[in-house]
Structures are given as structure tokens and as C-alpha cells.
Structure 1
Amino acid sequence: MMEGDIGLWGVPLAILGGAIRVSTPFIFVSLGETITERSGRINLGLEGTLVFGAMAAYAIAVETGSPWIGVLAAMVAGAGFGLLHGWICSFPKVNDIAVGIALMLFGMGLAFFFGKPYIQPSAPNLPAIPLGDWSSLPQVRAALNVNVLFLVGAALALALWWAFKNTKIGLIVRVVGDSADAARAMGLSPNTVRLFATAAGGALAAIGGAYLSLYYPGSWNERLSSGQGLMAVALVIFARWNPLGCFAAALLFGGAGALGPALQSVGVTQGYYLFYAAPYVLTLIVMIAASSPGRALAGAPGELSITR
């Protein structure tokens, strides 16, 4: 074995590194959708928010030379989409699922229109922390080169888990999500709470898009997203609306997405491409399992439209 060649150990290392890289958008989109769904609203438009956030972050980073200003611009754009979604859904007899699908197409269309001038220019990348510098093996260093947003996502998952259990804002969101009548009896406005929850969810989803365009894969094009926004809805159900569960499930989905490249990296030349479909197969399995009688949607907010 040549120096630096770690053989089959390269597969779990590549899956680990891939899980960290691929999971980051899932983390932010699923945490954003958790906030929204905990308030009693489902937002299927996060795919459009993700793509528009990626475009906005890349364009602003190109213009300003700062990836962090790009991330901030993506958050503002995502919050705007969330506010629009929440405002439309505040009208009587409006279906939030239909609105989400419409805004998904709207967001993607806007991103493709405004993003065409930014396909060629190069934007500065978000920084990463080289946690593997202690090793002389390039595979270990590559696997442990962790982007800052992954660490932010991990901290955010912990913070949201604590906030839902221990803060007044968390209690308000949970009450509104479980019973609009009980919320009104407490003097709360369900539409207002859901408006801000949907805006917060959109802002977080757009951070996931900024990660895609400014770090991995680190470019802007119209095929940037592979359905992460839609898969995040299945991920939230799988995690039972628990932020820490979302973080763990995002790592699982990220690891599944890294299977194909990991096999390719150790010389598997036939059939490895089939594993690129692993995240989509996993999404299908999750949705089938979540729909099983008796345990379907356990722990779901009572006002969520998919539980009715």
C-alpha cells in the first residue's frame, strides 16, 4: 500500500466528509420548516426559496466581494418569500400547500431570470475550518475540512430544541401550532405568529441555498438544487418536528448522498452512479414509513394541514 493510500478506509472517511458537506443545506432547510410547521403551517415552497437564496447570495457576493454579505442577502430574500407566503395564507380558505407550490415555481423562475448574468462570474467562497490538520493523510484532512455554516447549523439545532421547550416564544409557536382556538383564548393572533414563523423558516432555508452557491458545490447555475427543499419536508416528518432529530436526519441524508462519490473515490467504476439516487430512495422510504397506520405523523402539530 502506497503512503497516503488508506484503502477501504477511504469509503467511511469519504462518507463522513460527504455527510458534513451534503447535510448542511438539509440542516438549515429542515430547521426552517420545523419552525414553520410547529406554528401549524406547511411550506412546500422552500425549494424555490432555497434556489433564490443561492442566486441572491452568489450575486451579492460577486458584487461586494464578501460571502457573508451574500448570506445576509439570502436571509433577507428568504424572509421576504416567507412573509409573502404567510400573507397570502392569512386570507380565508387559502390552501397553504397550493400556495407553497406556486411560490416554489415563482422563486425558481425569479432566480433563473435574475441569475443569468452571474453564471460566469466567480464569487468568493465561505470559509472552512481545517479540523483535520493534525493528520498527514489528505483523505482525513479533506473529510474534516468543515464549513463554518455546518457548525452554525449544529448550534442552531440545539438552540431551537431548547427554545421550543423553555422559552415564551417557543411556547407561543407550539400553542398556535397545536390549537388556533386555544391561542386566540390566550390573546394570540395565529395568523401573525404563523407569518413570522414562515418568514423565519424562509430565512433559514435561504441560508441553505447560500451554502450551495458559496461553498459546495460553490457556483451558481440553474441546476444547483437537487430537490433539497422538498426532501426537507420528508426529513422534518422523519425527525418528528424535533430540531435535534432534524440535525441527525440531515446527516443521514447527507451520508446517503455521499455514497456514490465515496465509492468512486476508491476506484469503483461500475454501478456507483446508482448510489446517487440513495437520498431520493431514502425520502420515499421515510414517507412510506411515516404514512403507516397507527404511528403516522406522531407528534405532529394539531393545526398542520397534512394531519387533517
Structure 2
Amino acid sequence: MDDTAMGLWGVPLAIFAGAIRVSTPFIFVSLGETITERSGRINLGLEGTLVFGAMTAYAVAVLSGSAWLGVFAAMASGALFGAVHGWICKWPKVNDIAVGIAMMQFGLGLAFFLGKPFIQPVAPHLPAIPFGFWSSLQPVQAALNINILFILGAVLALVLWWAFGNTRIGLMLRVVGDSTDAARAMGINPDRVRLLATAVGGSLAAIGGAYLSLYYPGSWNERISSGQGLMAVALVIFARWNPIGCFVAAILFGGAGALGPALQSVGVTQGYYLFYAAPYVLTLVIMIITSSPTRALNGAPGALSLTK
């Protein structure tokens, strides 16, 4: 039985499956950006980190035959990009946003240049857990075939939510993000904390890239990203710098991105392509709603460039 045979029931099922698949990169990029912004720094270069991570993961997986080795290589490349961004931004009068845009273009260009030999070769894919084994319906089985990285992302969101409020590292991150002077008064080096936070954020963003190239869509090409790195910044603001909020918002973005394919899967042949723009419209709406000259962003770190 296919999605068309299931009739209208195929639409929510396809949206559910698509939301999980599409949301996974958003989860990791937004969680990484949450860590970075909680330290008082914004990183607009995550789009470049995401794409370079996708290329690195795919290339290493092709050469080594191991998808997980590709993921770890992507994490290392993302951490390096984040560390470079953090090191540059520690100098006086350096603008976080300008550096982020420069790093984004650098990451995109370098990925396209180094990744050309890996467009044709086929890499091993990341595994998924078949939670739909109990059903004889192929659409149900496909919808519940959930990649391990999605589950790890959900667990990571919970861990970060707990860590921000209950650990010494979480306290240090929040202090640095709220006030550089207060952090120095407590003996904390703000530059070091922000450097590490930006490196960790870049590493997580690169995992999102590895998911794109090694699972969904599961190939490497120069159009592999549709702006997930930039949209994640809006997602973090929408979630008010809360990791669990980021996870929920990522599912929302993923569901919006799955509308077009879901309608197409049940036989809608006209107008479905308009829904492919849903994530971008949602991003625009969120930015408009959260932008106000008369009220502060609730939960925003005080030292964040975005709020100055």
C-alpha cells in the first residue's frame, strides 16, 4: 500500500515522517547556536560550517567506508571553523556578524572546491532504527524508520536544558553571556569561554551537515543545504535560547518543510510546490514577530551582539 492508497491519512503520516527527516539538521545547528549565543556571541557562519561538514563527512565516509567516521570528521572540521571564528572575534572592535558572514562564504567556497571529486562516488549511509516493524503498511514502516541522529538530538536537547541550569559549566556560560564584567569579577575568562562555546557550536552544526550528506538526502552536491544554517538563528530566537524549545521549533520547521512533499505523495499535482517555501515564510514571520524596538527579547543573553 502506498501513500496515495491511504488517501488523506497519507498527508499527516507524510508530514510526520518528513518533519523528523527535515528537522534533524535544524536540531543540531540550533542547539549549537544556542550554546554559542548563550556565551554572548552570535555566529552567522553556521551555514558555511554546515555545508563544509556535509562535504567532510561524505568525503571521509567514501574514503574510509565508515559513515560514523565521517560524522566525527565533520565534528572536527566544525569545531575548527568555530574556533577560528571565536579567535577572530575576541579582538577589540571586531564585529561578530561581519566575521560570521565572512566565515560562511569561506566555508561554502572551500566545500565546493574540495568536494568536487566526491560528487559521483557513493558513501555509506547512517543507520536508522525501524520503529515501524510492527506494521505491514509500507508508508507506516517508512515513517517510523528514524535515524539515530534524530534520537541523539532529542537526548542532547534534554541534556543541555538540564546542564544550563544545574551545572557549573552552564552557570559559567550564562554569566559570560549576561555580563562580561561580572564574569571577569568572578575570575572567569570570557574570551576563553566564548571561544570554546563557538567551537562546540560549530561542531554540532557540522553534525547537521553530516546528516544531510550521509542520510537525507544522502548525497553530496553543492546545493545540499537550503539555508538551514541561517534559519537556525531565527529558530534560536523563536525558542528563546531554550534547548527544548529549539527541538520543538526544529520539528515545527521540519513539518513546514515537509508540506510540499507530503501533498505530492498523495497525488496533489498542482500548487503543492508553493508549500516548499513554507520554512522561509515561517522564518520571515518569526523575525518580524520577534523584532521590536520597544521591548527586549525575553531570555536573550545581555552580552549578545544581537541585543545591543
TM range (shorter): over 0.9
Q: Confirm or deny: 8 A CA contact 1:290 1:296 kept in the other structure.
A: no
The percent of aligned pairs where both chains have the same amino acid is 79
Report the more deviating stretch, 59-68 or 1-10.
1-10
Structure 1 segments (4+ residues) deviating >4 Å: 1-4, 293-296
TM-score (norm 1): 0.98
Is 1:226 aligned to residue 223 of structure 2? no
Alignment of 1:32-47 (within 5 A): 32-47=32-47
TM-score by length of 2: 0.98
State the Cα RMSD in Å.
Answer: 1.3
How much does 1:6 deviate? 1.6
With 288-297 and 258-267 compared, the bigger mean Cα shift is at 288-297
1:80 equivalent in structure 2: 80
- AA matched with 2:67: P
Cα contact 1:4–1:137 (8 A) shared by 2: no
2: CA distance, partners of 1:4 / 1:46: 38
Q: Secondary structure at the match of 1:258?
A: helix
Supply the distance in 1 between the matched residues of 2:37 and 2:7 (Cα, whole angstroms): 44
Q: Return the alpha-carbon distance in structure 1 between the equivalents of residues 73 and 226 of structure 2.
A: 22
The number of residue pairs the alignment matches comes to 308
Q: Does 1:265 align with 2:268?
A: no
Q: Is the Cα contact below 8 Å between 2:158 and 2:243 reproduced in 1? A: yes
Three-state SS of the structure 1 residue aligned to 2:240 is coil
Give the letter aligned to residue 192 of structure 2. T
Residue 55 of structure 2 aligns to a residue whose secondary structure is helix
Q: In structure 1, how many angstroms separate the alpha carbons of the residues matched to 2:84 and 2:3?
A: 56
1:5 is displaced (CA, Å) by 2.5
1:271-292 deviation line (CA, Å, top 9, x unaligned): 0000000000000000001113
Aligned twin of 2:155:
155
Question: Which secondary structure state, in structure 1, belongs to the residue aligned with residue 129 of structure 2?
Answer: strand
CA distance in 1, matches of 2:128, 2:296: 39
Conserved? CA contact 1:4–1:138, under 8 Å? no
Cα distance in 1 for residues equivalent to 2:115 and 2:3: 45
| Distance across 2 between alignment mates of 1:21 and 1:296 | 34
Letter in 1 for 2:118: Y
For residue 107 of structure 1, give the secondary structure of its aligned residue in structure 2. Answer: helix
1:296 Cα deviation after fit:
4.5
Structure 2 unaligned regions, length at least 5? none
Please list every run of 5 or more consecutive structure 1 residues that lacks an aligned counterpart in the other structure. Answer: none
* 1:113-151 Cα deviation digits (max 9, x unpaired): 000000000000000001011111111111111000000
The equivalent residue for 2:280 is: 280
Provide closer, same or farther for how the CA distance between residues 24 and 291 of structure 1 changes in structure 2, counting only shifts above 3 A: same
Separation in 1 of the partners of 2:3 and 2:46?
A: 45
| SS across alignment from 1:182 | helix
Range 291-300 or range 120-129, more displaced: 291-300
